[in-house]
Amino acid sequence: MNLSLNQRIKEFEQHLRTERRLSPHTTSNYSRDLKKLTFWCSKKSLIEPEQLDSQNIRECLMTLHREGLGGRSIQRWLSSLRTFFNYGLKNQWISFNPADGIVAPKSPKKLPKTLDVDQVNQFLSLSATSWIDYRDHAIIELLYSSGLRLAELADLNLTDIDLKEATITVTGKGRKTRQLPVGSQALKAVKYWLKHRQELKSTGLQAMFLSLQGRRLSPRSIQDRLKKISVRQGMQGKVHPHMLRHSFASHLLESSGDLRAVQELLGHQNISTTQVYTHLDFQHLAKVYDKAHPRAGRKKSS
């Protein structure tokens, strides 16, 4: 007897958790994408994965697109489907991958929103009057200093930072670890936070950042804290963790022009991702301007 699509998806999710050891966040993303497929299939009375062909996947894709799902989201959805069906091929409960060869509709690329240096300084100039302030200051300094992803920051443990060497070890996508430098201002903020952290009721947790209840601070809580700080610091819009990561990458690239180094620091597998992420290579633009504009009037460096 063939298993249903829902049963196969549960089997696949177990495989992601136990065999591939993917993070709960990544596993949740796969589950969310596959639920879109099962919802569409239930309307079409398609119960088993063996019933699905490429035309079904295309029809489901077009439905999602009409409902407003963007090109990049559909691209990720297709990637999740391919991974799921490849798992089915490996375990021999399907004979072909119905998602292969299907391309997501293109969507216009959006440039990432960044803060300029003055805006970053405005956002980081927090006056600390409580342990929560010291914690929040350390959070935003680390995000900007080392270009961390939100999940990487939330997963930090006390043992991940080396105060003497001014480095931090983070676990990124695909459970890959990388070591990053920590700037002097961020290091100072972390030291202040760790001092005040000792004053909290001991929970035995190794989490770097704790909540009022003494639990590991969740990604959602970190996002909410940054929104509140945005209002408190008089920012024009809400600052979110990824905006600080964008700003880190953009400012570093503007100053160094070293795309490969920025790629390593961000933990990107492909440099094309970094090119989209950082979007502005100021030194390159300046050289083009100096060379091409008849009235540039800029002093040439020797």
- Catalytic-role residue among 30, 87, 134, 277: 277
- Catalytic-role residue among 149, 216, 225, 246: 149
- Write phi, then psi, for 204 (nearest 5 degrees): 80, -5
The DSSP secondary structure of 230-276, one letter per residue, reads: HHHTT-SS---HHHHHHHHHHHHHHHH--HHHHHHHHT-SSHHHHHH
What is the token pair recorded at 61? 């894709």
Kind plus residue range of the DSSP H or E element containing 179: strand 177-181
Which ranges in the chain belong to alpha helices (H)? 5-18, 24-43, 54-66, 71-90, 117-124, 131-146, 150-154, 184-197, 219-232, 241-256, 259-266, 271-278, 282-292
End-to-end CA distance of the chain: 77
Q: How long, in residues, is the chain?
A: 302
State yes or no: is 149 an active-site residue. yes
State yes or no: is 279 an active-site residue. no
- Catalytic-role residue among 173, 178, 188, 227: 173
State yes or no: is 58 an active-site residue. no
State yes or no: is 76 an active-site residue. no
With vertex at residue 156, the alpha carbon angle to CA 151 and CA 162, rounded to the nearest 5 degrees, is: 140
Does the CA dihedral 122-278-152-106 come out positive or negative?
positive
* Residues acting as catalytic residues: 149, 173, 242, 245, 268, 277
